[in-house]
Every structure is written in C-alpha cells, then in structure tokens.
Chains A and B, each alone.
Chain A
Amino acid sequence: MFFTIINNAIVQGIPLLFGSTGEILTEKSGNLNLGIPGIMYMGGCAGIMGAYIYENSTQTPSAALCIIIPLLCSLVGSGLLALIYSFLTITLRANQNVTGLAITTFGTGFGDFFGGSLTKLMGNNGNISVKLTSDYYKTTLPFAEDLGWFGKLFFSYGFLAYVAVITAIICAWFLKRTRAGLHLRAVGENPATADAAGINVTKYKYLATTIGGMIAGLGGLYFIMDYIGGSWTNGGMGDRGWLAIAIVIFAIWRPNLAILGSFIFGGLYIAYSYTSGLGRAASAIFNMLPYVVTIIVLIITSMRNKKENQPPQSLGLPYFREER
C-alpha cells in the first residue's frame, strides 16, 4: 500500500518534473516563460500525432521507430513553440507575460484541436489511440517484477521517467558546476554585466529557452504515452503546466530540489484517492495545497531576502543593450 502510493506519486510527478526542469533552465536566462502549459500540450500532441501517423502508415511498426518518431515529433513541436517565444521576447523584445500567455493559448488550442480531430482529418473514425506505441513507452526493466517492493519503487517506470530524473540532475550540475552554467546565471541576473564581460546574451537566452521548452515538452509526451496510455482527452492535462511553474518556486530555482518537489506535488495530486471517507471536498483541499504551499514559499523567500534563494534578478525583463 505504502509503496503503491509512492509509486503513484512518482508517476504523477514525472510530467511536473520535466516541466519544472525546463522552466528553471528558461528562468535562469531571465525569461519567465508562461507558455509552459501550452508547450507541454504541444509536446504531448505532436508526439501522439507522430505516433498515430506512423502506426497507420505501416503494417508492421518497429519498436525502435515507435519510440523515436513520437520523441522527435514532440521535441520538434515544443522546440518550435519555444523558439517562437524566444524570437518574440528576445529578438523583438516583446512583453514576456503577454507572449507566454499567447503561447499557452496557441499550444492548448493546437493540442485540443489536433488531438481531438486528427482522426477525422485523416478520414478515420473514433478517437485517437496509439496503444502499441504507448506499450513500448511503458516497457519497464525486465527484472522489475522479480524484486518485490524494491523493483516497484525503483524499476517499474517507462524509460522517460528516468530521463526526467537524469535531466534534472544534469541541469543542476550544469548550472552549478560548469562555466556555461555560470554564464547562463549571469545572463539571468544581470544581462548588461554579462554582456560587458563578453558573454553572448542573445545566444544564451535563445539556447536556454528553446532547450528548456523541449524538456518541458517531454513532460507532455510522458503524460500522453505513459500515464494516459496513448490516447487524447481534451483538457486532459489539467493544470499540470501551471503546477510545474509552481514547483520552480517551491524548489527555489534548483533542479535537484525540483525532483523532490515534483514527487511531493504529484503525491498531493493523488492524495485524495487514499483518504477514503473524506470525499470530494477533501480532494479539492488536497488539490489546493500545492498552490498554497507555493505561495507560502514565495512569501517566505521574499521576506527572508536571502540572496541565493531569490528569483533571477532580471526575470521577466527584456534586454536591450542600447537602453540605459
């Protein structure tokens, strides 16, 4: 029972972890990308579209292609959306909040439209479903079953779950231990100073935002392929995108803490189903908790005003060298 809860919390937490890792990378460059929910939708939808078209185009789908095609589609889809965001906010210096919300509108619209209508557009009936691909995505390590609770806790996930954790750890290492990571943080804190030190601000911002978007998009892919099992429900991803942004604050902009944060928030997401007898009212309270906790963290970090726990200083501001 206990291990089942933790197992489910982790499964719920993986999409959040992808989203928050991507957003941390983005925010470290000074871009507050509120388009993450849209980008995650896009990542999921592009992935399922790729899988559906591939499954329908061949009699004998091969396992490798079933994995690679949706993965690439997802990366390209979310990467493109993040690139639009980067172009508008970095090159054209548009307002980040407005641009981000526009990206979310577009991404959720794109996801709901094509996710809901692709079968009709291709002249088939029924709902989109890619059971076969989903099964490949869900394949766990072969010895997971034999190891009892240990296997269930550590080895019973599809490969994307491990990718999520590893990506978060790499990001933490990258930001803290590498020169490029130092430069990236400098760009997010004070782009004018970074610029003066000879760091290519535009390049860092573009790369961080686009790669961050691609990582977040994988969250959508995991949600669709692994958690849902290869079908699409409109609005099915719920508020997970915003929750991912909440985790960024909860983890005070540190990817390694985001791992813990995602699993806690994932646990809160499903906690109500284990509190039998408390009913739906309790589920609303449990769903509210992550946001309340995030608000409290946000208030406390701003009250204590410790330098290392603050948001990147230039978060949300465009950079124009000739403006003083």
Chain B
Amino acid sequence: MVKNNAEIETERKVHEPLFQIVKRDAMPWYKAWLVRAAAIILALAIGSVVIIMLTGYNPIQVYSAMFNGAFGSTRKIWITFQDLAMLLCISLAVTPAFKMRFWNIGAEGQTLIGGLTAAACMIYLGDKLPLYLTIPIMTVSCIISGMIWAVIPAFFKAKFNTNETLFTLMMNYVAMQLVSFCIVFWENPKDSNSVGVINRHTHGGWLPEIADQKYLLNIIIVAVIMISMYIYLKYSKQGYEISVVGESENTARYIGINVKKVIVRTMAISGALCGIAGLMIVAGTDHTITSDSVGGMGFTAIMVSWLAKFNPIVMALTSFLIVFLEVGAGAIVTDPKLGLNESVADILTGIILFFIIGSEFFVTYKINKRHNSSKEEA
C-alpha cells in the first residue's frame, strides 16, 4: 500500500493529505457516460453564458438560433451532414493509429496530399479520359499519396524510434507548402493565386451526384467506412494486434507480433483513409484546392477520435457535437445585426473540450477522502 498522496511529496514532516487518488478498476459504462454527459451539459451552460454576455440574447434564443443555423433549411441540413461526414472520415482515419498509441497528428497533411492528388488528376486527366476511367485512377492515386505521407513517419518510428508526434506535425506544413507551390502552376485565371473551380463547365473528374444530391455520395462512403472500421478494429486479427501493440509493445513482441510491421501497416491504413477524405473534399465537394482546404479538420479529428474513446460508432456522435457547435455558433454571431465573427465557435469548442478532457479523470480515478490518520506513517 502506498501511503502518501501523489500531490504532496517533499515534505519532511508527516503531513496527511486530505484526499487520496486511486485508479478505479472499471466504471460501469453507463456511469462513465453519465459523467461525460454531465461535463458536456456543464460546458454548454458556461458556453451559453459566454454567448449571452456577448450578444445579449436569452438562453432559449441562443439555442434556437444555433439549432436554426444547423438545421434551419434543407440546404443547411445537407451542409451540416456534409461537414459531419468529412470530420468523421478523418477521425476514423486517425483512430487505428491512436489505438496503437501512435500519435499521428499529421492527418491534416495526409488529407491535403490526397486532395492535391485529386486536383492533379482532375486537371490533367479530367477532360481527357472518360469518367469511368478517371475516377478509379484518381481514387487509387489519392489513396497511395495519403499512404506515402503517413508511412514516411511510420517507417522512421519503426526503424529508429523517431518521435512520431513531432514528425507528423512537421509533415502537415510540408504538405501545405507543396499545395501553395502547385497552385502557382495551376492558377486560373492567371495571377489570381487560386485554382478556381476545376473543370467548371465539363465537370471532368467530379465525383458523380446521387439522386441529385451533391453530398449524398460522400455521406454514404463515410457511413460505409465507419461500419467497416468498427468491424476491423473489433473483430479482425489485425484490429486485435493493434490493441495489443497499443497496450504494451513488450507484450506484443512476446506473443510474436511483428511490432514494426503493425506500425507501418496501421499507418498505411490511416493515410489511405485520409487520402479518401481528401478525394471527397476536392473532387466531391469543393472542386478546387487551397492550402486551407482541410481547414484544421485534421487537428479537430484527433480530439473527436479521442473523445469517442476510439469507438467508431460513438465518433459519429462526438463529431456531430463539434460540427453542430461550429455551424450553430457560427450562425449566431455572424448574424448581420451583431456582425461579430464566427471564431466564437472555436471558443465554445475549446470550453467543451476542456470539460470533457477534465471529466475523464473522474472516470479513471477515484478520490478517497482520508478518515483516520495512522500514526506510524513517515
């Protein structure tokens, strides 16, 4: 039994701390979710106080305006779900790597490289080849490019134990500058420093619309990825290997898992999915590319995936929460009457994240209050 508390350490005199923190065995799942729900509600309450102070609305007005911003019209609903699908796709992409405790914070760059490849295919092949050829070529090359961007850091991690967090972080900005570099050659019209809508009239290389809905295809693809990822992580042998490597590399080695292979393979999957996300953003939605095409979603995805405890189905909910906040809060403050800017959504997201991150402590640890102080402690 460890007697002193983690909080107080150097004291020479025996000092009895009021609390002792111990790890819980396991909290029942409903209790754990209750704690998290309480954290979200608390955060929403504080968030609305912030909005009320800024805008002078009353709370009901705030939430109805947020709801209206996200679901006010058919078009808004589609956009909300499109944003949700993209964020979810990238979150799913980073999940296998995180489960392995490989801190891939390069999803932004991997997605952007996928998008860049898609744009290149649209520009160089879009009008020359028929659509049934362009799309498979484009898909494959996007997957490969995303994979390459992810496997480079994974290779060095496996081989030399290079710090993957810092490596993948740096790769993001290499990707962004690569996009700015390519834009110089692709810009249209000249000297606009932007690519504009690629193949505006011919729609060469655009992903097809299903049932006249621009975003439906993306949403279906992401739903399929979500379910496959759930099955892959939960029921496949590879999924099992990922969780063993994540729990303890030594155990994995001991039971005969080739850790290096698992690291590279998992990152390849991660990168491939990011590549697909890039394809959907560029060829399916925006039909153009800028160095900001991914718009920080690669970073948000990390938090979404973590909040969902790496569970693909729960991830749909957590990404919905984030998207709802961004779209909803954005709608409130950009109201021309107020004319504020939509960055308030980031403030709210930040507050909610702080609370959920903090609440995990109470799920994992238990705080015992000290009752009787034993005398022989020293």
A interface residues with partner B (beta carbon < 8 Å): 32, 34, 84, 87-88, 91-95, 97-99, 101-113, 116-117, 120-121, 195, 198-202, 234, 239, 242, 245-246, 249, 279-281, 283-285, 287-288, 291-292, 294-295, 298-299, 302-303, 305, 311, 315-316, 320-323
Contacts and interface: CB of A to CB of B under 8 A. Distances in A.
25 contacts: A34-B105, A88-B357, A92-B357, A94-B358, A97-B302, A101-B105, A105-B303, A106-B350, A109-B349, A112-B346, A113-B340, A116-B340, A116-B343, A120-B339, A121-B340, A200-B9, A281-B185, A288-B174, A291-B170, A291-B173, A291-B174, A295-B170, A295-B171, A298-B163, A322-B21
B350 A97 contact: no
A242 B193 contact: no
A291 B177 contact: yes
B45 interface: no
B41 interface: no
A120 B56 CA distance: 14
B177 A92 contact: no
B7 interface: yes
Given A34-B105, A92-B360, A298-B163, A106 B184 contact: no
Interface string B326-368: 0000000000001111011111011101100110110011000
Given A105-B349, A117-B341, A199-B10, A98 B160 contact: no
B10 A322 contact: no
A98 B302 contact: yes
B177 A302 contact: no
Nearest to A85: B354
Contact of B177 (A34, A88, A287): A287
Contacts of A101: 105, 299, 302-303
B361 A94 contact: yes
Closest 4 CB pairs of A and B: A109-B346, A106-B350, A288-B177, A112-B343
B177 A106 contact: no
A122 B161 CA distance: 52
- Among A113, A200, A239, A305, max chain B CB count under 10 A is at A113
Given A320-B6, A322-B22, A242 B354 contact: no
Contacts of A245: 166, 169
A311 B177 CA distance: 27
Contact of A88 (B105, B354, B364): B354
Contacts of A95: 306, 357
Contacts of A106: 346-347, 349-351, 353-354
Contacts of B338: 120
- Give the dominant DSSP class at B's interface: helix
B343 A113 contact: yes
- Among B172, B306, B349, max chain A CB count under 10 A is at B306
A322 to B, nearest CB: 5
- Give the dominant DSSP class at A's interface: helix
B2 interface: yes
A294 B167 CA distance: 9
Given A92-B360, A201-B9, A234 B341 contact: yes
Given A199-B9, A281-B185, 14 more contacts: A91-B361, A94-B358, A97-B165, A108-B343, A109-B349, A110-B347, A195-B9, A280-B180, A280-B184, A288-B174, A291-B171, A305-B160, A316-B103, A322-B22
B54 interface: yes
Contact of A239 (B156, B173, B339): B173
Contact of B180 (A112, A284, A323): A284
B315 to A, nearest CB: 14
Interface string B44-67: 000000000010000000000000
Contacts of A94: 357-358, 360-361
A86 to B, nearest CB: 12
A16 to B, nearest CB: 14
B7 A109 contact: no
Contacts of A108: 343, 346
